[in-house]
Chains A and B, each alone.
Chain A
Amino acid sequence: MATNNFNIEKRKYILGAAVLLVLIVYTSRLFDLQVLSDEYKSKADSNAFYKKTIYPARGLMYDRKGRLLVYNQPAYDITFIPREIKKVDTLELCKALNITREEFDNRMKSIRKSRGYSSYTEQPFMTRLSSEEFAPFREKMYRFPGFYISKRSIRQYTYGAAGVLFGDIGEVSQKKIDKDPYYTRGDYIGIQGLEASYEEVLRGVKGTEMLLRDAYGRIQGNYMNGAFDTLPITGKNLTLGLDIELQQLGEELLKNKIGSIVAIEPSTGEILCMVSSPSYDPRLLTGRQRGENHKILSQDKLKPLMNRAVMGTYPPGSTFKTSQALTFLQEGIITSNTHFPCHGGFRYNKFKLGCHAHGSPLSLFPAIATSCNAYFCWGLVRMFSSDKYKNVQEAMNIWRDYMVSMGFGYRLGIDIPGEARGMIPNANYYGKHYGNYWNAVTVISISIGQGEVTLTPLQIANLSATIANRGTFITPHLVSSIEGDTLPRIYREPRKTMAERAAYEDIVKGMRQAVLEGTCRGADIPGIEVCGKTGTAQNKGKDHSAFIGFAPMNNPQIAVAVYVENGGFGATYGVPIGALIMEKYLNDTLSVESLEKARSIGEKRIYYGEGER
């Protein structure tokens, strides 16, 4: 019995050990949860913290005279969580949103079918409602449980012009979200135009509010009284080189026609107007009609959403002769006194390229003024057969280098996306087609801006600006200054072409003569020395009508290029439109006669048939 008692007394150690065992096991478990594992900390944060993004206001856009062009406007999205909807009076809802019962049903059906549909998460019901459209809904919102509103900021436009230049904003794509951590689903991002190319400047910096959210999802105020909150930084404003009134005039002039007008301030490379016709009113793409209007515009066969001024490539026609003369002069192939014959055209053995009636033989200035084809063909023949070069291939490539130095054949680098390169052929290009059996006559049409050569209207305008500057140009750009920031270097530093100033002076004289007594007589503006050059580009259909010009001759303020598809002679549309643009810009207004002229040009319609353009 005594030993038994002793044995039993030993049990106190077993019990004590059990207590210690629990202590050790629980302490290690605590150590594991609190010290070793980070998992629970982040889970706790995602539980309790609701990081609310405060969106910065997007940067505004002004024109060169300080007129507000693009600004922000509040808009409302109506969303709903399908699970939370109980007994909603559908008819009342339709009435409040001003939609029909049918629209409501269709909308619901398409939402249910859409990718990413979940009955637990917010589904967009209607987006981008204006305050007025949204007001009747807000009053009755309490009657529609499960429906929510979220306020957003959308773009609004003061003027109904320059839509393609501004571009648009829309919800960011998943691809972009993966690439740039700035964005989250549902954010707006610039798509196309200036909104896209200046996205990082315009968007600003998002702010955040650290909010506490309880287990029921209710917000319980700011964490640590806002110590972790950051304020949003407003996007930077842009000032454009654009003169919105000039832009409006341009769009008016090209109404009912397909074409482009590009005007550049030669000394800065700033774009004064860039018209692509048909144009559209950017205000159509705001508000609840956005989706419908966008559909109409994108399905239009005439492609109003395409910016032809930078995306379209055309044969430059006779406007290109200026660049040829510059090359020949610089290379010593001709002087301004060199005469070439022209008897109704260029004849070489059996080859003939027609020309129109004028005196013969003729020197450079009248050749430019009258736009003589033969003169420039002979120039090219002389250059490509010159002893200066080893062979025609070398001559061809030197020619190509001149063209490239003038901004042709490659993208100029304007500050909106989608620019096309155009086409400048080189020796290899012809080698592929003709082997070694080709010469100047084979490629003769390039000397008059036909054949393989194509340029964008922007490149044609830049040619004009380069001549106005006598041999230099600054890469054309739409934005003249960014608030609190400098422009990229390429928009500040001039680029030089391969032709010298002396050669350019001759071209300027020729272009002046064209206005005084040549093909551009219609471009004359009283009291201003205007220089110009027409272009009539052949193509499958009716000729395209083109014009380049600048003014005043000795202190150029504006250089312009006009291109009207199937407009006929350069003098028909190109010259008067170019003159009106220059007059409007230089005089800030149009004379009574000019106003009348502008009205009648605007009313003219060119019929393009039913085909896609």
Chain B
Amino acid sequence: MERERGSIIQNIDWITIAIYLTLAIMGWFAICGASHSYIESSFLEFLNPEDRSGKQAIWMGISIFIGIILLCFDKRIYKDWAYIIYVFFIIVGIVTIFVSRDIKGSHSWLTIGRFSLQPAEFMKFATTLTLASYMSRYGFDINKKQDLLASIGLFILPMLVIISQRETGSALVYLAFFIVLYREGMSGIVLLTAISSIIYFVVGIRFSDVLINDVGVSMGHYAVLVLIQIFSLAMVKFWCKNDNTFLTLALVNIIGTLGAYWIAVYLISFNIIVFQYLLITFTVIYLLLKIRLAKEKRNLYAALFIIGSLIFYASCDHVMHHVLRDHQRIRIEVLLGLKDDLSNAGYNVHQSKIAIGSGGVTGKGFLKGTQTKLKYVPEQDTDFIFCTIGEEQGFIGSATVLFLFAVFILRIMQLAERQNDRFGRVYGYSLASIFFFHFTINIGMVLGIMPVIGIPLPFFSYGGSSFLGFSILLFSFLRVDADRKQRA
């Protein structure tokens, strides 16, 4: 027993621990900055348990203590208990919906005595554990339909529970597990479809009201059609791998598009969108003919992709104006720069940009930020904590945080890659994906690049549950990682 514990200390990845502690300490100072006014400056004030910084310090202590305990468990325990933990937290999550008090419309808090916990934060751990267990099962093949659907079901279930708690933001985090599935061999077309859908949506809506000069057609509509052509050509080139088919289609599409545009602008104005549809129709027919005549079955995917893209774009407009609720549509419009709504949806982001922008290169100094101190940024110690860093530590401080997070995520991916079984790899990638998703969405939102989705920045945002949840995820993975040699 003694020998084994010694080996854990030797095998543990101290680099990850070091980055974790650095981020945690920076995060704690950021909370001090966000929750204290100018007047209080004694260091002891920060540890006052009545204050948020004091509470956070307590939670950090608890988390690290629990983390050390987790390091003492055997790796096998994680595997064996995975499903039980999963079922337990799903039940707790469902119970929470009914027993929780209504806090700003959300039903996600479980109050036990003086403590309030968000079970959703621990469901990530449970889901990660279960997914890793399931996918490391003997005979698991991600390309088998049942296996893929069952894996997806494992993280869709907690997602639905959390949506029922009215925490849509936290629920979206579970989409990060698609990254894990991709790494484990899920067809890349799924991700390509997802990414291209987002691009169609953004480009189509953003420029739908902008007209192309001299031609009088919607620039958004036209741009989406051209994008469909480009994506489908890329698919033919890299997926179907038939150079003749690709060359023919490329020639027709490029010459046709440029020619039509030139004629419409300089010679006779006509509806080039209709012509663009003709080109796309030609591409689809050509691909279908190739399938029949040359037995190039892979062309089917390209043809279906094109048809799917057209249907998706057509439904975008419908969704935008008939499916989405007003406040959701406004959020999207504000994000796309179609609306300047500084008093409602745009206020947070506007103020957060001001706070960050006013930090300059070196920042205003610890506790000297005016925008955060004077409460111009709402949620400044939770979802918008990055503002405090931006304002008080400037470009140098906030870029350092970005860099540390990237290194942290890449390091976890590196650890995941060095696992010699699927359980460890899936576990590591789940962890990396969750951190990546939180990082990208939260900071993107604060910088005004992503929509306002209320999810915390790991180790920075105030909140005991999330800090503990992230710590449990990390330490349990480090324990798994420390065991890799012994099991080999």
Contact = CB atoms under 8 A, between A and B. Distances in A.
Interface stretch (B110-118, B229-237, B441-449): B441-449
Contact of A48 (B37, B182, B374): B374
B436 A34 contact: no
B374 A220 contact: yes
Nearest to B143: A4
B376 A47 contact: yes
A185 interface: no
B395 A30 contact: yes
Contacts of B93: none
Nearest to A32: B357
B417 A12 contact: yes
A212 B371 CA distance: 10
A43 B354 contact: yes
Contact of B439 (A4, A22, A41, A215): A22
Given A19-B406, A23-B403, A30-B398, A44 B413 contact: no
Nearest to A22: B440
Query: Interface extent on A, as a size class?
Result: 35 or more
Nearest to B350: A43
Interface string B14-32: 0000000000000000000
A11 B403 CA distance: 22
B370 A48 contact: yes
Interface string A448-460: 0000000000000
A8 B406 CA distance: 22
Interface in A1-60: 4, 8, 11-12, 15-16, 18-20, 22-23, 25-27, 29-31, 33-35, 37, 39-41, 43-45, 47-49
A34 B361 CA distance: 6
Interface in B148-175: none
Contact of B376 (A18, A39, A48, A223): A48
Main secondary structure, interface of B, reads: helix
Among the interface residues B179, B182, B354, which one has the most CB atoms of the partner chain A within 10 A?
B354
B356 A40 contact: yes
A200 interface: no
A597 interface: no
Interface string B417-454: 10000000000000000001001100110010100000
B356 A19 contact: no
Contacts of A27: 399, 402-403
Contacts of B357: 33-34, 37, 39-41, 43-44
B79 interface: no
Interface string B357-384: 1111100000000110111100000000
A47 B358 CA distance: 11
Contacts of B440: 22
Given A8-B185, A11-B183, A33 B374 contact: no
Contact of A26 (B188, B436, B444): B444
Contacts of A8: 183-185
Contact of B358 (A16, A26, A40): A40
Contact of B370 (A35, A37, A212): A212
Given A33-B447, A41-B358, A47 B395 contact: no
Contact of A16 (B185, B405, B410): B410
Contacts of B185: 4, 8
Contacts of A45: 358
The 10 closest A-B pairs by CB, nearest first: A40-B357, A44-B358, A48-B370, A214-B374, A23-B406, A34-B395, A33-B357, A215-B375, A215-B376, A8-B185
Interface of B: 37-39, 179, 182-185, 188, 351, 353-361, 370-371, 373-376, 390-391, 394-395, 398-399, 402-403, 405-406, 409-410, 413, 417, 436, 439-440, 443-444, 447, 449
13 contacts: A11-B182, A12-B183, A12-B417, A16-B413, A29-B449, A30-B356, A30-B395, A30-B398, A33-B357, A40-B353, A41-B357, A41-B358, A212-B370
